[in-house]
Structure 1
């Protein structure tokens, strides 16, 4: 190889290294703090129903020192949401609940529902980032839960009065419309109990149909899960969910402009890794909102071409 070729190759390698270093610096120092609000409109309410403003928040991975994230979330109360949907992975540190309280205390009095992600049980660990390119079927980490999940749940259910949807069902009346919710604990670590959920949904609907004062036509069914595995999405659609909320994917976290996410960390197709889409199963369909989330593991503090986000979902009346 000539000296000129060697020099050209060295120059190209130097340029590539500089670009890589610049991209990493942007993703780790700047973009992961560029919190953004995505807005969506979903026509699922009964004709004539008043619009319901749903604030969907996911994957905070909160550490106590993350004051900028805590302030940003707390200020979302200015949107005047009618309902909060929280899809898990709230904790990112053994003292993460300190930051969760700071972020959500302003939402007292606003109804909400929440489910767990794996990082509401297990604290973050250093890991090989390349493992995210492996096929993911989930799995229970080889260690015992080491986060205070019960204290977090007490804050949500007792202080904020939000509903726990971990393998559970509930109903809330919001602005004249009854919202029927069902949810599961984190499918990524196989805590979802779809078999239990089936009976709970049947019992809820039996109670509603036996109540002479209940107008079932004014009900809307919503599914909530942390990780959007296909088995869960399919079951939710089968059970009549008109809209599904999920998180977990971080939108890919590190994306390639013009191509999108490299990984999803579950079996959902890449094109549905974040944002609003439609999930179809067995000739039925449901709107699906997958949040790219607001945080990252403290051991993988980088986002590229995938800004952290919360979503304001406006549920509006369906066209007749």
Structure 2
């Protein structure tokens, strides 16, 4: 075998070795993302400095994007155990369902929390079931938004409102929590153009202690309007935190007009004094059951003096 032939063989072997290594690494990463990380439910605790001096802290439990399937008992048990965080208020920002028969599972998960003051809005997947689509469409959105089978939205709504929780879908209300009076405003999901903030818009009341705005999708036109009206804590979900993130780079997409840098966590909303908290959520789309560098989460927001 001459030198040229030997070099060609070595190059071929090096290519095969590199390809095999990359394939193995890709398979291992996918296995971790789909079998491990998407089940690593994580409780985050975040302080929000927005209260008057000497005010007592107020704890808000923010839950989002359960995407519940009936057989997900581990997720149900984990959510139910959040009663141990002793929140003053529970806010759920939508996309609770992933199947027509998932309402009992959602209610089972939330049951210990239903005796507390609570409020909710819906997301698109509380109305229509998921359908398969190319995951690259989250990064490069094209074409019309396609929805699946109709879901039992009203059964879920009835279950939550019967327990005493406030329905904030294009609605506004006040409630007592943690010894204070809170004003809350919310919209139905902007992602599927169900929002109608104009129907509930107006300056925040000076007769209440705190002002919260709630939406599923953190659409900028909704957040701008809420902040302009004086709602100083805005809560949203929808983004899944990007769901697949690159260490050192972050989320690849937010599935809305929110910047990637704000895909999850606590941020100041630009041009205002309002805080925005975006939950990375607890579930995944059933046809994309994986998370990478973006664990499923619920968050206890502790409001503290500025």
TM range (shorter): over 0.9
Say which SS state the counterpart of residue 66 (structure 2) adopts. Answer: coil
Q: Which runs of 5+ in 2 are unaligned?
A: 1-6
Q: For 1:93-242, list aligned pairs within 5 A.
A: 93-135=99-141, 141=146, 146-158=150-162, 160-198=163-201, 201=202, 205=205, 216=207, 219-242=209-232
Q: Normalised by the size of structure 1, how large is the TM-score?
A: 0.90
Give the whole-Å Cα distance in 1 for the aligned partners of 2:41 and 2:249. 22
Once the two structures are TM-superposed, the CA of residue 101 in structure 1 deviates from its matched residue by 1.4
Name 2:282's counterpart in structure 1: 294
Q: Against the structure 1 CA distance between its residues 12 and 127, is the aligned structure 2 distance closer, same or farther, given a 3 Å change threshold?
A: same
Is contact 2:64–2:280 with CA below 8 Å preserved after alignment?
A: yes
Q: Which runs of 5+ in 1 are unaligned?
A: 210-215
Name 1:306's counterpart in structure 2: 294
Say which SS state the counterpart of residue 70 (structure 1) adopts. Answer: helix
Say which SS state the counterpart of residue 303 (structure 1) adopts. Answer: coil
Once the two structures are TM-superposed, the CA of residue 241 in structure 1 deviates from its matched residue by 1.3
Say which SS state the counterpart of residue 111 (structure 2) adopts. Answer: helix
Q: 43, 54, 78: which one pairs with 1:48? A: 54
Residues 190-224 of structure 1: CA distance to partner in whole angstroms, max 9, x if unpaired?
111122122xx45x84xxx7xxxxxx3x5211110
Q: Against the structure 1 CA distance between its residues 49 and 139, is the aligned structure 2 distance closer, same or farther, given a 3 Å change threshold?
A: farther
Q: Against the structure 1 CA distance between its residues 290 and 26, is the aligned structure 2 distance closer, same or farther, given a 3 Å change threshold?
A: same
Once the two structures are TM-superposed, the CA of residue 135 in structure 1 deviates from its matched residue by 4.1
Is contact 1:157–1:164 with CA below 8 Å preserved after alignment?
A: yes
Say which SS state the counterpart of residue 60 (structure 2) adopts. Answer: strand
Is contact 2:121–2:188 with CA below 8 Å preserved after alignment?
A: yes
Is contact 1:274–1:291 with CA below 8 Å preserved after alignment?
A: yes
Give the whole-Å Cα distance in 1 for the aligned partners of 2:145 and 2:250. 28
Pairing 1:244–2:247 present: no
Q: Which runs of 4+ in 1 moved over 6 A?
A: none
Q: Normalised by the size of structure 2, how large is the TM-score?
A: 0.94
Q: Against the structure 1 CA distance between its residues 140 and 125, is the aligned structure 2 distance closer, same or farther, given a 3 Å change threshold?
A: closer
Name 1:212's counterpart in structure 2: none
Is contact 2:37–2:291 with CA below 8 Å preserved after alignment?
A: yes
Once the two structures are TM-superposed, the CA of residue 65 in structure 1 deviates from its matched residue by 0.1
Name 2:18's counterpart in structure 1: 12
Once the two structures are TM-superposed, the CA of residue 139 in structure 1 deviates from its matched residue by 6.6
Residues 139-183 of structure 1: CA distance to partner in whole angstroms, max 9, x if unpaired?
76466x60000000011100x210000011011122332211101
Say which SS state the counterpart of residue 122 (structure 1) adopts. Answer: coil
Name 2:4's counterpart in structure 1: none
Is contact 1:139–1:190 with CA below 8 Å preserved after alignment?
A: no
Once the two structures are TM-superposed, the CA of residue 50 in structure 1 deviates from its matched residue by 1.9
Q: 7, 31, 38: which one pairs with 1:32? A: 38
Give the whole-Å Cα distance in 1 for the aligned partners of 2:246 and 2:214. 29
Q: Against the structure 1 CA distance between its residues 35 and 142, is the aligned structure 2 distance closer, same or farther, given a 3 Å change threshold?
A: closer
Give the whole-Å Cα distance in 1 for the aligned partners of 2:52 and 2:144. 39
Give the whole-Å Cα distance in 1 for the aligned partners of 2:35 and 2:141. 29
Say which SS state the counterpart of residue 285 (structure 1) adopts. Answer: coil
Give the whole-Å Cα distance in 1 for the aligned partners of 2:54 and 2:200. 31
Aligned length: 300
Once the two structures are TM-superposed, the CA of residue 22 in structure 1 deviates from its matched residue by 0.2
Q: Which stretch of structure 1 is more off in the superposition, 241-250 or 39-48? A: 39-48
Once the two structures are TM-superposed, the CA of residue 60 in structure 1 deviates from its matched residue by 0.2
